[in-house]
Structure formats: C-alpha cells, structure tokens
C-alpha cells in the first residue's frame, strides 16, 4: 500500500532547500516499496551513509517495512521525526529516510565536519595545570565538560537561537548547587532573544545582562574547561554556544578577573602575592598617567624637591605640554598594539622593535618626548596586561583619567575614582553585586578574594551570589 510519494517528497524538500548544490537524494526502488534518502553532502559523513545506512537497506532481501529499516540502519543516533522537523534535521547534518509504505520518517545523525583538537587557548596559557581548550564544536565542548563530571548532577539544557542560524545553545549547571532562580532567569533571557543569527557567544552577552550599554564586562567567559568546571562547582551557570570556543558563565563578579587559573595550581601564599601584584597593576594602569600629569601640571609643590628637579631637568626641553606628550606616547603605543595584533608574528616582532627602540629612543634623543613620560606610559601599558580580560575597559578608563588629571588634577582623579566605584557598585546581575565580596564586604568569600587561602580552608562556596548549597567540604 502506498502512503507516500517518495519522488514527490524529495522534490518538495529540495525545493524548500532552494535546490542547493550540496543536497543529495537517493532512492532505492524495490518490488513493492520505495525508500528515499535526503541529506547535505557538505555536512554529513558520506562513508557512514554508504556503509551504515544505504548498503544494509539496498542489500536486504525480503519484505521491507519501517521497523525493518530501523533495525537495518547501523548508526547510533537514529530517531523518528515528524513532518515539521524534516528540514531542521537535514540542516543539522542528519540523513532523513522515508519510505512509500509508511508516513513515519527517520533522521539519522551522521553530521561530520572538520574540527580542531582541544589545544591550549592563546588567551589563557598556564605554566601548570590542564592545557585543554574548548573548540568551535559544541559536542566536543560538552564532552570536555562531561569528562570532568562523572555525575548525573551536571545538567545540560539544549536551546536554539537565531531565526536564520538556529544556533545550538547549551545551558550547563550542577543541579544540586546552582540557584534555580538564576538558571530560570538565564533560560528566560536566552529564550527571549529574537535575532537573525548568533555567530559567536559574544552575540549573547548583551542579552544576558541588565545594563547592556555599560562599558564593563558583566558576563564571565573562558576557553578552558577546567575554569568553567570550577565555576560550575561554585554554583554558576555556563552557556555553551555552537561554533564558539568561548563559554560564558553567570553570575559574574569583577573579582573573577583578579583570579587566574595559575593561582589554583600553585602555592596559595605565592598566589596571594600575585593577586596583590595584579591589583597594583590595575591601579598603575588606570591612574598612573593621570597622576603623573596631575602632579606635573597642578601639584608640583607636593613633590619632593629631588624628584621635582629630575622631572624638571628632563622635561624643560620638550616642545609639547605634558598632556600632549603623554597623550602622544599613549596613542603611539595603542597604534603599535593594534598593528602588532593584525600583522603576522614575524612582522609583529619587527614592529615592536621599531616602536620600542627606534621611535621611543629616537624620540627621547630628539627632545620630542621626555624619559619620565615614556617610563610612566610604559609602566601603565604593561600593567594593563596583568588583567588581560579587562584591558579594553582599562584602556578606555586610562584615557578618561588622563584627561581628568590634565584638566583638573588630583581632585578630579579622586572624584573620578569615587564616581567609578559608585557606578560599579550600581551594577548588579542575577542579584549579584559586581564588586562583591569587597563591597558589600563578605568575609567568607575573601578566602578567595585578594588573598587566596589554602584549598582545605575554602570549605564553602561563594556567598556573593545565590546557590543552593554553600557547603563544599566538611
């Protein structure tokens, strides 16, 4: 009995796919039944299709019905689908099988494309500790997480975002730890996204936060499965996006940027020292040029006389005002940075040499820029990378404070700092204060704050954000 016209069905699907060149169809015409296959050759494993699907069916001698076909297919991921899901499955790399004697259809997932191996990500290299990094393939990324949790507690929820791209998004969390409220809110926010496409996880960021126009990053991100795993263990929620090696985590606090994976793979006293160094680095990067300019322009009388003489000696021949001088060097650095990022590595090195040695040294010798100004900008720009994840924000603020220091001096710098902190204190996502555990001060969380206690002493999960179970170890 004929329930479905296979040729007509194939024609309809091909039409829906605009007869794209990579749409492949096959038909096996047997005595009283026709079996049709349709898939995208660019996206599916042709070898598996032939050996595990096509050949077993075509070689079968006997009465072929839907249940027999199901048994004959030797692929793992086979499921029955409805009419409305046909296109979706084909577009995700499945082979859709249908036969004339049945209205039921099968989708066999044999998706295949080349992915890179989970190598160490360039953004977070470690001296000790795991070197695996996420890739662009979400299945590989889920596998990297799964192998760190041999527990049913790890929940993975599948969503799809993007009218055109239909990108797979996976929300990962630990069922007994993560706050259900946060999970629900993340899910709600992702479901409410109405966009044509999600090309990378960064596309999701503005939709996950309450102040999308803010300069400051409000969602955590990492390319390393060990970091994401540790965040899941703390009760955070991870968001994996297909085609992106960057996994997002929420709730996010600024302290996370002061922490580095290396801190947990080294002695805790040394790690604490490093955190102080990073904090000093941030301070120097933010305020260094601003303070220098403010002291030089407005408050030279508070400088000790010896420093004053040194600075006056080296700046008296400079034709520019101190502000223009510092601005010039800062912009020069920024240009060199941009160039070295985009040039191939062998040329990047040459640019650095030209920038650092020729421009810097010659500039000083020619009397265009002064050595103290070069030193101040160099320190500030190097210090910027003690927290590379926030370098963009700190760079913007560095120019802002430079301008304030030049316009109104120390009073403006302190006012600007108060404004900045008050603003950061007003940022809250998922009921989590941005500057926690410093303000509001949460004593227990400071065991992994500016100093890091030994792992035996970190018995509880953070109180800075809500989670179901604060006890980590007895």
Partner 1 sequence: MKDRSINIWQAGIFLFIIIFANKILVLPSLLYSGANIEGMFCYLISFLLEIGLITLFIFLKRKYPTYSFSRLVKEKLGIITLKIIYVLIAFFFFCKLILIYNVTYIFFKDLIYKTSGNFLFLICLLPIVNYLAVCDLRSFGRTVQLFFPVILIILLFCVITSFIGIDGMPLFFQSDASDVFLTTIKHTTAFGDVIFLFLFMDKIEFKKGDGKKLFFLSSLAMIFVCLIMLAFYFSYTYTSFMHPYAIFEILGNVKDYGGLGRIDVVAVIIVMILTYLQMGVYLKCFTLSFHVVFPKLSDAYALTTFNTIFLILVFLLIRNLERTITYGENFLPYISLISFVLIPLCVIVFLVIRRNKNGKN
Nearest approach in angstroms of CB 153 to partner 1 is 34
With respect to partner 1, which residue has the nearer C-beta, 283 or 385?
Answer: 283
Six token digits for residue 323: 């502000």
Cβ distance to partner 1 smaller for residue 273 or 418: 418
Task: Give 155 or 420: the residue with its C-beta nearer to partner 1.
Answer: 420
Is the preceding peptide bond at 463 cis, omega within 30 degrees of 0?
no
d(CA 410, CA 420): 15
Q: Kindly state the smallest distance separating residue 310's Cβ from partner 1, in Å.
A: 12
The rounded distance, in Å, linking the Cα atoms of 169 and 144 is: 16
Report in angstroms how near the CB of residue 323 gets to partner 1 at its nearest. Answer: 15
- Residue nearer to partner 1 on the CB measure, 164 or 306: 306
Measured from the CB atom, is 113 or 441 closer to partner 1?
441
Which CB atom, from 389 or from 428, has the smaller least distance to partner 1? 428
**Cβ of residue 454: shortest distance to partner 1, in angstroms?**
24
Question: Measured from the CB of residue 424, what is the shortest distance to partner 1 in angstroms?
Answer: 9
Q: Which residues bind partner 1 (CB under 8 A)?
A: 298-299, 301-304, 306-307, 407-412, 414-416, 418-419, 421-423, 425-426, 433, 435, 438-441
Residue 245's nearest CA partner among 170, 148, 133, 145 is: 133
Side-chain-facing half-sphere of 320: CA atoms under 13 Å: 17
Taking the least distance from each CB to partner 1, the nearer of 300 and 385 is: 300
In the bound complex, what is the minimum distance in angstroms from residue 253's beta carbon to partner 1? 13
Nearer to partner 1, 364 or 410 (CB): 410
Phi-psi region at 62: left, alpha or beta (left = phi > 0; alpha = psi -120 to 50):
left
Exposure on the CB side of residue 119, measured as CA atoms within 13 A:
5
**Between 268 and 438, whose beta carbon lies closer to partner 1?**
438
CB of 464 to partner 1, least distance (A): 12
Cβ at position 160, least distance to partner 1 in Å: 37
Considering beta carbons, is residue 421 or 455 the nearer one to partner 1? Answer: 421
**Shortest separation between residue 307's beta carbon and partner 1, angstroms:** 7
Token pair 């599916």 is found at 44
Minimum distance from residue 417 beta carbon to partner 1 (Å): 9
**CA 414 to each of CA 85, 295, 408: distance values in angstroms, whole numbers, following the listed order:** 60, 13, 10
């Amino acid at each position: 009995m004929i329930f479905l016209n296979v040729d007509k069905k194939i024609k309809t699907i091909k039409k829906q796919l605009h007869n794209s060149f990579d749409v492949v169809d096959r038909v096996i015409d047997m005595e009283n039944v026709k079996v049709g296959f349709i898939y995208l050759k660019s996206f599916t494993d042709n070898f598996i299709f032939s050996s595990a699907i096509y050949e077993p069916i075509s070689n079968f001698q006997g009465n072929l019905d839907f249940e027999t076909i199901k048994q004959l297919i030797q692929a793992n991921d086979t499921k029955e689908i409805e009419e409305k899901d046909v296109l979706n499955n084909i577009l995700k790399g499945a082979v859709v099988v249908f036969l004339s004697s049945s209205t039921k259809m099968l989708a066999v997932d044999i998706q295949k494309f080349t992915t890179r191996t989970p190598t160490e990500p360039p953004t977070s290299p470690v001296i000790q500790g795991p070197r695996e990094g996420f890739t662009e393939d979400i299945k590989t990324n889920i596998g990297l997480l799964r192998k760190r949790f041999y527990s049913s507690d790890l929940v993975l929820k599948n969503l799809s975002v993007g009218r055109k791209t239909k990108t797979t998004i996976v929300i990962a969390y630990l069922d007994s730890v993560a706050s259900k409220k946060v999970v629900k809110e993340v899910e709600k926010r992702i479901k409410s996204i109405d966009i044509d496409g999600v090309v990378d996880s960064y596309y999701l960021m503005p939709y996950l936060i309450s102040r999308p126009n803010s300069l400051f990053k409000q969602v955590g991100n990492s390319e390393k499965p060990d970091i994401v795993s540790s965040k899941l263990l703390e009760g955070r929620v991870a968001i994996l996006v297909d085609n992106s090696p960057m996994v997002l985590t929420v709730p996010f606090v600024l302290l996370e940027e002061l922490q580095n994976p290396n801190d947990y793979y080294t002695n805790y006293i040394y790690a604490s020292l490093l955190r102080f160094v990073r904090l000093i680095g941030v301070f120097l990067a933010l305020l260094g040029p601003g303070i220098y300019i403010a002291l030089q322009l407005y408050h030279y009388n508070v400088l000790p006389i010896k420093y004053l003489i040194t600075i006056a000696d080296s700046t008296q021949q400079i034709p520019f005002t101190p502000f223009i001088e510092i601005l010039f060097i800062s912009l020069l650095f920024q240009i060199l940075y941009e160039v070295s990022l985009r040039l191939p590595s062998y040329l990047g090195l040459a640019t650095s040499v030209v920038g650092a040695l020729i421009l810097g040294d010659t500039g000083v010798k020619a009397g265009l820029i002064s050595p103290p100004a070069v030193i101040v900008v160099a320190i500030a720009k190097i210090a910027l990378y003690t927290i590379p994840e926030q370098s963009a924000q700190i760079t913007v603020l560095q120019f802002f404070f430079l301008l304030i220091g030049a316009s109104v001096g120390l009073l403006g710098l302190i006012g600007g700092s108060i404004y900045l902190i008050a603003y950061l204190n007003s940022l809250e996502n998922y009921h989590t204060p941005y500057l926690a555990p410093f303000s509001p001060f949460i004593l227990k969380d400071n065991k992994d704050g500016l100093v890091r206690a030994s792992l035996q002493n970190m018995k509880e999960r953070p109180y800075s954000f809500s989670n179901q179970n604060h006890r980590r170890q007895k």
